[in-house]
Amino acid sequence: GENVEQHPSTLSVQEGDSAVIKCTYSDSASNYFPWYKQELGKRPQLIIDIRSNVGEKKDQRIAVTLNKTAKHFSLHITETQPEDSAVYFCAAVNGDSNYQLIWGAGTKLIIKP
């Protein structure tokens, strides 16, 4: 079946540094790629998303890039802060269903003071 691979599984960065999380997907028909953040004990929430007709999208300190040819997309967080500590999930929409998301396994981001 279709799948999304996410790396690394754990990422530890110094406060103020940048963090990059990478995902690859297999479904050529995918056209929507969201990123969710799950803080400890809380529900996952959408933080940014990108569609296949766009190569990059930015929202303050976070940005997402997409390379459709290589089938990979990345989340970039600059000037990391303690509140960025969380588990981040990438996903790709299932091209057959148009509403089902295929999820990556998650990245635990640790911000060191």
Partner 1 sequence: DVKVTQSSRYLVKRTGEKVFLECVQDMDHENMFWYRQDPGLGLRLIYFSYDVKMKEKGDIPEGYSVSREKKERFSLILESASTNQTSMYLCASSLYTGTSRAYEQYFGPGTRLTVT
Instruction: Copy the structure tokens of residue 9.
Output: 């599984």
Q: In the set 11, 20, 63, 105, which binds partner 1 (CB under 8 A)?
A: 105
Angle at 110 between CA 85 and CA 34, to 5 degrees: 55
The four Cα atoms 16, 47, 67, 111 give a dihedral, to 10 degrees, of 30
Among the residue ranges 15-23, 38-46, 56-64, 65-73, the one whose residues contact partner 1 (CB under 8 A): 38-46
Q: Which is nearer to partner 1, 104 or 111 (CB)?
A: 104
Interface with partner 1 (CB under 8 A): 1, 6, 9, 32, 34, 42-46, 49, 51, 89, 93, 98-101, 103-106
